[in-house]
Structure 1
Amino acid sequence: MARPMKIAIVDDEQDMRQSISQWLALSGYDTETFASAEDALKGLGNDYPGVVVSDIKMPGMDGMQFLKRLMSVDSGLPVIMITGHGDVPMAVEAMRVGAFDFLEKPFNPDRMTELAKKATQMRRMTLDNRVLRKELSDGGALMRKLIGSSPVMERLREDILDLGQADGHVLIEGETGTGKTLVAHALHAVGARASKKFVLVSCGAYDEDALAHRLFGPVEDDSPIPAIEEARGGTLVLEDVEALSDPLQAKLLTVINDQGTPAETRIVAISNLQERGKTSEDVLRGDLFYRLAALKITVPPLRQRGEDILTLFTRLSEQYADDYGCDAPEISAQEAAQLLQAPWPGNVRQLINVAERAVLQNRRGSGSIASLLMADNEEAAPTMTTEGKPLKEYVEAFERMLIDNTMRRHKGSIVNVMDELQLPRRTLNEKMAKYGLQRSDYL
């Protein structure tokens, strides 16, 4: 769900505070008011979930001093300054210091709403980016994103933890949409280089000359630092490493050889080969392949992850239901089987799209999981994998999903879950233990 944004209104005149607050509240904003800058500073710390509207002329700490204090606490906080006639030069100076914009009294209330909308949108983006950066530096948070209890996902998490502590270069392979870049982030975040730079270059996004310049330089005016230098001491991730030409492969090999052991900069190469029957070894020169593949991780395709598919679908559909302000779809046993049997050529990326469209369909009260899976298949058939599974596996996967969904809906209330599923407590406890579900996870 989108982060709720607040607007803090700071003005020593009560009538002005109240009129601005009432207008913005009618426009749908959550407002709070302060009679002085000193009072406001007590409630406006770093990562304040909103924006500030402040008068410039105030007794005690004036608006300019207040702005400078706010910028020293959080330079990304949007501050809209209100100025009286004749104070425009001061407002311009406020913009130079870091104010988002200013309004001259008497101002048009619609203009205030327009600025508030722009400022809150910018603030939401700033805070979301901060959360993302924090997650990308938090190994625990990243590992939790690698959802699933299937054996292949357990093995993947173990590999990340083991190889994260190692110091050799790593080759990550896997089908498109499996989350290889997320694995690269996790490898960096759980290792000894977590506090160092993480630099990602998509080799397939450049032509040969531009890629050579991005990776190796030389440094020129207004050009970014070459990735090899930028990542020094940290991790350099090369997405679509197979896009490197022979000359660039040779140059990369020279850099690797010059670093010695242990490597000054760890290189994580991501291979995203689309052609069937081809591997990284087929397209990379042998000496480079063996240097990059000293350690290797293969990210499993979604079709091999069993009931993780239902777990992921449930989590994703709940998130999208929050975003769209509607209920998540409740899928039937037949639809659960269809999700488990689908070939998922686009893997997790495809599942994300299907979950979002399922929520939108549910909001409209039409459509089916089968139609979504059919629409994702270019040839419209087959919609099922040829990897048959025993009926028992489908039944257990659906049962686990049903208990998990019901526990989430009732926030861990065993009594309510027993009542809805018509299960005695002992049976529910046994099934939860069997499927690794713990009540504490839902409280």
Structure 2
Amino acid sequence: MAQAMKIAIVDDEQDMRQSISQWLALSGFDTETFPSAEDALKSLGADYPGVVVSDIRMPGMDGMQFLKKLMSVDSALPVIMITGHGDVPMAVEAMRVGAYDFLEKPFNPDKMTELAKKATQARRMTLDARALRRELGDGSTMMKKLIGSSPVMDRLREDILDLGQADGHVLIDGETGTGKTLVAHALHAVGAKAGRKFVVVPCAGQEEDDLGRRLFGPMEEGGTQPLVEDARGGTLVLEDIEALPDKLQAKLLSWINDQGTPAETRVVAVCNLQEQGKTCEDSMRPDLYYRLAAMKITLPPLRQRGEDILMLFTRFADQFAEEYGCPAPGVTAQEAAQLLQAPWPGNIRQLTNIAERAVLQNRRGTGTISSLLMNDHDEVQPVMTTEGKPLKEYVEAFERMLIDNTMRRHKGSIVGVMEELCLPRRTLNEKMAKYGLQRSDYL
């Protein structure tokens, strides 16, 4: 959900700040007013979720001094200055210092609204970008996105932590929809280059000459620097590395070799081959493949992740139910078994799609999860997998899902769960311990 944007109005004249506040409030903005710059500075720190509208001429700290203070705290904070007729040269100076724009009195209220909309949009983009950078730099946050308690996911997280700390380049492969780019993010976030540049380059669907110029240059005069330079000191992710033309594979290998050891910029190559019987090794120069595949991570397909399938389905369904404002669908024992048995050719991406459609069906009061599984036209027609599992595994996976869903519904109320599932306290505690469920996660 997007963060609500505020507008801080700073003016020593009460009538002026109230009239601006009322007009912007009528235009749908969340406003707050301050009679002086000194008062405003107490509330306007870095990452303030909005923009500032300030008069230039004020007693005490004037608008220019106020602007310089704000720019020292957060240089990307949009500040709209309000000027009198004789203050236009000062307003131009304010723009040089870092003001977003200025309005000359008497100003058209509609122009104020239009300017406020543009400024808040710019602010939202800035804050979203900062949040993403912090997330990419926070290894614990990225690792939490790798949901699952199956043995293959435990091994994957261990591999990410081990390889994340190493200096070498990495090759990530696996079936489509398994989350390879997310793993690339996690590798960066837990490594020594966390917080530095993280540049993702799609290699598929681009003309060879255009891709070559974007990656290695030369760029057109006045253009941005090549992506290998943009990623310098950080991580360069090459998605669909198998689609990189031979000529550019040779150029990439030469650039990697020129960096020496340890590499200044880490390359994470993501292979997304979908043809049956063909591997990433088949589509790459042997010297480049072995240079990148010295450290390799192969993501497990969803069908090998056991009860993670039910956990993920529940998480996705809950998220979509909240988004659409309706209850999440219940899962019967038969549907749970079908979810566990399906081959999932589209992996996580396909499961997400099924979960969203199940929520929409449930909102309309029609259809079943079984019908979605049997009529999923977005991926290869699913049939039951031949990878059989003991009955005990199906029972335990369904039991865990049932307790997990009930705990979520009752927000961690043990009494509520006991009553709904008709379980004694001791039995519920034992089963929660068995399945690694913590009451604190649901409060």
**Quick check: TM above 0.5?**
yes
Q: Name the structure 2 match of 1:277.
A: 277
Q: Name the structure 2 match of 1:348.
A: 348
Contact 2:169 2:267 (C-alpha < 8 Å) held by counterparts: yes
Contact 1:52 1:78 (C-alpha < 8 Å) held by counterparts: yes
- Choose 275-284 or 358-367, whichever is displaced more: 358-367
Q: Deviations over 1:266-296 (max 9, x none)?
A: 3221111121110011111222222211111
User: Alignment partner of 1:430: what SS?
Assistant: helix
User: Alignment partner of 2:297: what SS?
Assistant: strand
Q: Name the structure 2 match of 1:438.
A: 438
- Choose 216-225 or 10-19, whichever is displaced more: 216-225
Q: Name the structure 1 match of 2:154.
A: 154
**Amino acid of the structure 1 residue aligned with 2:331:** S
User: Alignment partner of 2:268: what SS?
Assistant: strand
User: Alignment partner of 2:75: what SS?
Assistant: coil
Tell me, in whole angstroms, the C-alpha distance in 1 between the residues paired with 2:140 and 2:344.
28
Q: Deviations over 1:77-110 (max 9, x none)?
A: 2233334456555545544443344445455555
Alpha-carbon offset, residue 140 of structure 1: 1.4
Alpha-carbon offset, residue 202 of structure 1: 1.9
**Amino acid of the structure 1 residue aligned with 2:288:** L
Q: Deviations over 1:308-331 (max 9, x none)?
A: 22322333333344445x144132
Tell me, in whole angstroms, the C-alpha distance in 2 between the residues paired with 1:246 and 1:436.
49
Contact 1:240 1:270 (C-alpha < 8 Å) held by counterparts: yes
User: Alignment partner of 1:403: what SS?
Assistant: helix
1:246 maps onto 2:246 in alignment: yes
Q: Deviations over 1:28-51 (max 9, x none)?
A: 443322111111111110011222
Q: Name the structure 2 match of 1:212.
A: 212
Q: TM-score, normalised by structure 1?
A: 0.88
User: Alignment partner of 2:427: what SS?
Assistant: helix
Distance 1:81 1:343, change over 3 A: farther
Q: Name the structure 2 match of 1:299.
A: 299
Tell me, in whole angstroms, the C-alpha distance in 2 between the residues paired with 1:73 and 1:380.
54
Q: Name the structure 1 match of 2:129.
A: 129
Give runs of aligned pairs for residues 29-48 of structure 1, distance below 5 A.
29-48=29-48
Contact 1:309 1:340 (C-alpha < 8 Å) held by counterparts: yes
Q: Name the structure 2 match of 1:201.
A: 201
**Amino acid of the structure 2 residue aligned with 1:332:** V
Distance 1:372 1:25, change over 3 A: farther
Give runs of aligned pairs for residues 162-181 of structure 1, distance below 5 A.
162-181=162-181
- Choose 274-283 or 374-383, whichever is displaced more: 374-383
Distance 1:198 1:278, change over 3 A: same
Q: Deviations over 1:36-82 (max 9, x none)?
A: 11111111100112222223332222223322322222122223333
Structure 2: unaligned runs, 5 residues or longer: none
Alpha-carbon offset, residue 264 of structure 1: 4.2
Q: TM-score, normalised by structure 2?
A: 0.88
Tell me, in whole angstroms, the C-alpha distance in 1 between the residues paired with 2:206 and 2:419.
59
Distance 1:238 1:11, change over 3 A: same
Q: Name the structure 2 match of 1:72.
A: 72
1:120 maps onto 2:88 in alignment: no
1:408 maps onto 2:408 in alignment: yes
Tell me, in whole angstroms, the C-alpha distance in 1 between the residues paired with 2:369 and 2:92.
56
Distance 1:32 1:268, change over 3 A: same
Contact 2:78 2:123 (C-alpha < 8 Å) held by counterparts: yes
Contact 2:317 2:329 (C-alpha < 8 Å) held by counterparts: no
Q: Name the structure 2 match of 1:429.
A: 429
User: Alignment partner of 1:204: what SS?
Assistant: coil
Distance 1:165 1:42, change over 3 A: same
- Please list every run of at least 4 consecutive aligned residues from structure 1 whose deviation after the TM superposition is greater than 6 angstroms: none
User: Alignment partner of 1:43: what SS?
Assistant: coil
Contact 1:56 1:63 (C-alpha < 8 Å) held by counterparts: yes
Alpha-carbon offset, residue 5 of structure 1: 2.5
**Amino acid of the structure 1 residue aligned with 2:330:** I
- Choose 54-63 or 164-173, whichever is displaced more: 54-63
Distance 1:117 1:178, change over 3 A: same
Alpha-carbon offset, residue 162 of structure 1: 1.3
**Amino acid of the structure 1 residue aligned with 2:287:** D
Tell me, in whole angstroms, the C-alpha distance in 2 between the residues paired with 1:84 and 1:376.
64
Tell me, in whole angstroms, the C-alpha distance in 1 between the residues paired with 2:374 and 2:88.
61
Contact 2:133 2:195 (C-alpha < 8 Å) held by counterparts: no
Structure 1: unaligned runs, 5 residues or longer: none
User: Alignment partner of 1:199: what SS?
Assistant: strand
Tell me, in whole angstroms, the C-alpha distance in 1 between the residues paired with 2:250 and 2:399.
54
Tell me, in whole angstroms, the C-alpha distance in 1 between the residues paired with 2:356 and 2:181.
22
Tell me, in whole angstroms, the C-alpha distance in 2 between the residues paired with 1:121 and 1:53.
15
Contact 1:161 1:187 (C-alpha < 8 Å) held by counterparts: yes
**Amino acid of the structure 1 residue aligned with 2:328:** P
Tell me, in whole angstroms, the C-alpha distance in 2 between the residues paired with 1:120 and 1:227.
30
Tell me, in whole angstroms, the C-alpha distance in 1 between the residues paired with 2:166 and 2:308.
28
Q: Name the structure 1 match of 2:225.
A: 225
How large is the Cα RMSD of the aligned pairs?
2.9
Alpha-carbon offset, residue 16 of structure 1: 3.1
Distance 1:21 1:343, change over 3 A: farther
Distance 1:379 1:169, change over 3 A: closer
Contact 2:345 2:379 (C-alpha < 8 Å) held by counterparts: no
Tell me, in whole angstroms, the C-alpha distance in 2 between the residues paired with 1:45 and 1:302.
45
